[in-house]
Structure 1
Amino acid sequence: MNAPVRVLVCDDQALIRTGFVTIIDAQPDLEVVGECGDGRAGVELARRLDPDMVVMDVRMPVLDGIEATRQLAGAGVAHPVKVLVVTTFNLDEYVYEALRAGASGFLLKDAPPAQLLQGIRTVAAGSSLLAPEVTRQLVGKYAARIRPADGRPQETPLTPREMEVLRLIAEGLSNNEIAGKLVISQETVKTYVSRILTKLDLRDRVQAVVYAYRRGLVT
């Protein structure tokens, strides 16, 4: 059997935190290794306990969840931790800031338990938890903030075909949609996506989207 996914739960509302811990610990493939009620404690615990992922609230005392996520999963972090942001606030700005800080996914607290558990498993497996249409909407709204100031495309180590796939990812297309557009198999698309993430040292598709816009590779 594979070792269970080790989860740290960070939420300042004790009742919600206890509920998350109970739901997660009841799963044979998941294990809660720690819990806390503020962002600073979350950062300290994550560095000490080395969990596979963190379930992170946004609004917390001492240090908010966005900054805690940045310290755990942001650019330049030596040993980044996967973060799933779970919040009561369904605001585009929070989603954008969480992803920009390095989060791999975003869920609302009123999501059913099954969705929370699936989200944890998805992020722990290395995938991002955002539907293509959500990615499209967010990038469309905030792309101007992350494009290069001069608007000129910057060089990348990708082949022309990999660049084509990256642009389609940045447009919010799923693997199936990319396969149809390029007339290739989904397995081939997965191979290209894996190569792109490896070459660019990116964690997931969300980071690939931000990378593409920051370097002016899409308009």
Structure 2
Amino acid sequence: MRVLLVDDHKVVRAGLRALLEGEPGFEVIGETGDGEEAIKLVLDLQPDLVLMDLRLEKGAIDGVEATRRIAAIAPAAKVVVLTSHGTRTDIALALAAGARGYVLKAGPPDELFRALRTAGEGGTGIAQEAIGLLVDEAIAPTSELSDREIGVLRLLALGRSNREIAADLLLGEATVKTHLVRIYRKLGAANRAAAVTEAVRRGIVDPG
């Protein structure tokens, strides 16, 4: 299976390339650290699999948005997320965007190979630890906001746009959008106004 690597750390990409090229059945055909470039490479190279990191500091979009766009325009290229982040929200966002696998970087290589093969065959390959988090989420959904999410929410309450929030917090606009999706989900809100209203009710944001 032909694999495209997407990770903004060259050392990580080099390690993944060596790992995959040493495993029968995989061929690395390209790599990038930029989400927008990843989309172009998918169209140009037509890989069977895309190994995608969620946290992409380069470019205007993160791994979730890149996954969403690839799933929309090139569904034959199955995206498997490989990340050091294993929160319930991250997993849910990745799968909702169209990822066909989710593996943690700290996991064993065999788990990565298994997830890639499962995705390549049309299934969904998810690491055992990630499955456990999803089960926990179904039983007891998390609603606790992170410090970063609270910071975004407070700026939202001041009427800041996504671009202004990104500038204030030194983040990419795509990252701000990802935070907003998580905030809406955790607060049970459908939009910005509802999120602020709920935050005020909970005492997270000062009504003044």
Q: Match of 1:116?
A: 112
Matches of residues 91-170 of structure 1 in structure 2 within 5 Å?
91-130=87-126, 134-139=133-138
Q: How does 1:1-219 map to 2 (within 5 A)?
A: 5-60=1-56, 61-62=58-59, 63-74=61-72, 77=73, 79-130=75-126, 134-139=133-138
TM-score norm. by structure 1 comes to 0.57
Cα distance in 2 for partners of 1:110, 1:138 equals 21
> SS where residue 15 of structure 1 aligns?
helix
- Give 1:93 shift: 1.0
CA distance in 1, matches of 2:45, 2:119: 18
Alpha-carbon distance between aligned partners in 2 of 1:126 and 1:83, rounded to the nearest angstrom: 11
CA RMSD, Structure 1 to Structure 2 (Å): 2.2
Shift of 1:78: 5.8
Q: 1:179-207 CA deviation, whole Å, 9 max, x = no partner?
A: xxxxxxxxxxxxxxxxxxxxxxxxxxxxx
* Percent of residue pairs identical: 36
Q: 1:41: how far off? A: 1.1
What TM-score do the two structures reach when normalised by structure 2? 0.60
- Answer yes or no: is the 8 Å Cα contact 1:53–1:81 preserved in 2: yes
In structure 2, distance between residues paired with 1:85 and 1:21: 15
Q: 1:125 to 1:141 in 2, by over 3 A?
A: farther
Distance 1:78 1:119, change over 3 A: closer
User: Deviation of residue 47 (structure 1)?
Assistant: 1.0
Which position in structure 1 is the counterpart of 2:176?
none
In structure 2, C-alpha distance between the alignment counterparts of 1:139 and 1:126, rounded to whole Å:
24
Q: Closer, same or farther in 2 for the Cα pair 1:138/1:51, shift >3 Å?
A: farther
- Is the CA contact (8 Å cut-off) linking 1:96 and 1:138 kept in structure 2? no
Q: Secondary structure at the match of 2:2?
A: strand
Give the distance between the partners of 1:26 and 1:43, measured in 2 at CA: 26
Letter of the aligned partner of 2:64 in structure 1? Answer: I
CA separation of 1:83 and 1:59: change in aligned 2, threshold 3 A: same
Superposed displacement of residue 25, structure 1: 1.1
The structural deviation recorded for 1:28 is 2.4
Question: Which amino acid in 2 is paired with 1:120?
Answer: L
Deviation at 1:68, TM superposition (A): 0.3
Pairwise CA distance, 1:97: 0.5
Gaps of 5+ in 2: 142-208
2: CA distance, partners of 1:112 / 1:56: 17
Task: Tell me the equivalent position of 1:197.
Answer: none
